[in-house]
Structure 1
């Protein structure tokens, strides 16, 4: 029975692995999404499309957007949320959900 559980767990672990090619495809898809979402804003900011400064702008805007969405709070009282009212409680580092 123990061997069966161990082999089943091993199979599930191997199913979660991805090849380097699959990882590269996922990263390329994510970059394409970021360029479609933030590229027009960077052009409006004056960066020529598909230039290195434009790409830097896209990455910076995406990072800024992700940090706003993550809602990580290091307060022992939780995060304040968008409305200014407490939306989390507990001691330690809390992660806001549903932002």
Structure 2
């Protein structure tokens, strides 16, 4: 029984990402956004690596994600007291 609990604990800890791993994943995500949306923002007239260009990249990524993963809001309750959840 102890061995089973020990193996379960090791498995759970192995699935946890360290700060360095999360930072590396975030950097890969940013690099991918720049590779995908950067050329489009340059064609729109933004100078590469400027703050406006970065803003354009973020806006295009946000627009694409919003279209790909739409949200739904569900509310329940009665007038004056609503509980809403957005997914």
How would you bin the TM-score normalised by the shorter chain? 0.7 to 0.9
Secondary structure at 1:38's aligned position in 2? Answer: helix
Structure 2 unpaired stretches of 5+: 76-84
> Where do residues 1-99 of structure 1 align in structure 2 (5 Å cutoff)?
1=1, 3-74=2-73
Shift of 1:70: 1.0
Would you tell me which structure has more helix in proportion to its own residues?
2
CA RMSD between the two structures: 2.1
Q: Which protein shows a greater Rg?
A: 2
CA drift of 1:4 comes to 3.5
Q: Deviation at 1:50?
A: 0.8
Specify every segment of 5 or more residues in structure 1 that has no aligned partner in the other structure, as ranges. 77-92
How many residue pairs align between the two structures? 78
Stretches of 4+ moved more than 3 A in 1?
A: none
